[in-house]
Copies of this chain bind each other. A is one copy, B any other.
Amino acid sequence: MKNILVAQSGGPTSAINATLAGVITCAYTSGRAGKVFGAIGGISGVLDEHFADLSEKIKNAEEMQLLCQTPSAALGSCRLKLTEESQYEKIVEILHRHQIGCLVYIGGNDSMDTVNKLSAYCTRHGIDDICIVGAPKTIDNDLMGTDHCPGFGSAAKYIANTFAELERDCSAYAAKSVTVVEVMGRDSGWLTGASALARQNGQKGPDLIYLCESVFDNEKFLSDIKERLQKQNSVLIAVSEGIKYPDGRYVSEAKGEKALDAFGHTYISGAAKVLENLIQNEIGCKVRSIELNLMQRCAGHLASDVDIQESKMLGIKACQAALNGENGKMAAIVRRNDDPYEVTYEIIPVFLAANKVKTVPDDFIDQSGHDVTEKMIHYLKPLIQGNAPVTYENGIVKHISLY
């Protein structure tokens, strides 16, 4: 029986370990796999032959549950992009030496590029005893070939609930105030759009939402805010970190030239901070900027149950595909229905996802340019349903460490 190697790559999410749990579950129960190794630190860990025998780490259902509720890559991650033929050669040599017949790589579009190149190398060189399959993962939800991405639903759930809570906080005072909240997404506004879900249950949520797919205009932004301030005291705004001016500059770069820190170095700040200053200077009311920062991608305590279940299933499907001899493929989600929500899984050629970016479509963005459409809400809503089970001890969520 062939051994299986699994690795994780790219930015952490709350669901990437559920996919790992899926791979392990499939390997343990398939009856067709030998040892299950985890490479520590993504493809770098493969190159370094830094492997952990996962059968020694995940030995029972409780540890499997702990794995599912631990955010971030339990096997560690990397940002290495394979560029040289010699790297492929070395990887194949290492896999052969460890009798590894299946490599499941969990990651985003860069990682799917790695799966694509490595599997193509094997095909090109007639290496047919190694199957390489990708399992998608990214909070950004920007992978092509899959209806949505594992990790996104949990990040969206944290963001939406946090906006619901921030709205309560910001509206407690009678003074006029503006709160600008920056959400991750440099090239796509999926997560920013998810802030609109805070309006479920008749709650107020964000007043204005600016996705990076729309050109950002300072004057329109200020006028949108002023209009709201005439009707209400508190204005809550969601902006993508990647919003850009008409000339293509990121808003976050807008103050790069003039702002220097105490050492004379350029001061780098986020889009929300730049907008905070803009509002302060042009409107003059109380204003605050907030970055949801890393919390939005690692808030495992508020993970979406739908997301965790799907993430696990994609790990199972990717591992099954590799065991079935598929190479250069990726497990993907196909949505069959919105309400009731139904999905199936399929195995697609990984090149459909590698290095591509899926942005928010035009009909998901409201014509006003400061909101999302009902169509986007219908798409998003099923993905944040249910609270994934989480066990606490001593008041703190329990995590597992694999290395």
Contact = CB atoms under 8 A, between A and B. Distances in A.
Interface of A: 12, 41, 44, 70-73, 76-79, 157, 160-162, 164-166, 168-174, 179, 197-198, 200-201, 203, 254-255, 257-265, 267, 269, 273-274, 277, 280-281, 288, 290-295, 297-302, 304, 381, 384-387, 392-399, 401
The 5 residue pairs across chains A and B that have the minimum distance between CB atoms: A384-B395, A200-B394, A72-B168, A169-B298, A165-B298
A258 B260 contact: yes
A291 B290 contact: yes
Output the residue of A165, A201, A257 with the most chain B CB within 10 A.
Answer: A165
A260 B259 CA distance: 5
B387 A203 contact: no
Nearest to A396: B200
A170 B162 CA distance: 21
B291 A263 contact: no
B299 A165 contact: yes
6 contacts: A166-B294, A170-B294, A200-B395, A201-B399, A288-B294, A290-B293
Given A263-B277, A295-B162, A77 B173 contact: yes
B255 A262 contact: yes
A76 B200 contact: no
B173 A399 contact: no
Contact of A396 (B197, B254, B258): B197
A382 to B, nearest CB: 9
A209 to B, nearest CB: 16
Given A166-B295, A290-B291, 6 more contacts: A78-B173, A162-B299, A170-B294, A261-B281, A385-B394, A386-B395
Q: How many copies does the complex hold?
A: 2
Contact of A267 (B165, B277, B290): B277
Contacts of A12: 168-169, 172
A280 B259 contact: no
A393 to B, nearest CB: 5
Contact of A395 (B165, B385, B401): B385
A265 to B, nearest CB: 6
Contact of A76 (B174, B267, B381): B174
Contacts of A166: 294-295, 298
Nearest to A306: B395
Q: Indicate the member of A162, A169, A301, A387 with the most B CB atoms within 10 Å.
A: A169
Given A172-B73, A173-B76, A174-B44, A397 B301 contact: no
A76 B172 contact: yes
B295 A399 contact: no
B399 A72 contact: no
Contacts of A73: 172
Nearest to A198: B396
Contacts of A203: 396, 398-399, 401
B295 A165 contact: yes
Contacts of A173: 41, 76-79
Nearest to A76: B172
A281 B263 CA distance: 8
Contacts of A258: 260-262, 264
Nearest to A293: B290
A397 B200 CA distance: 9
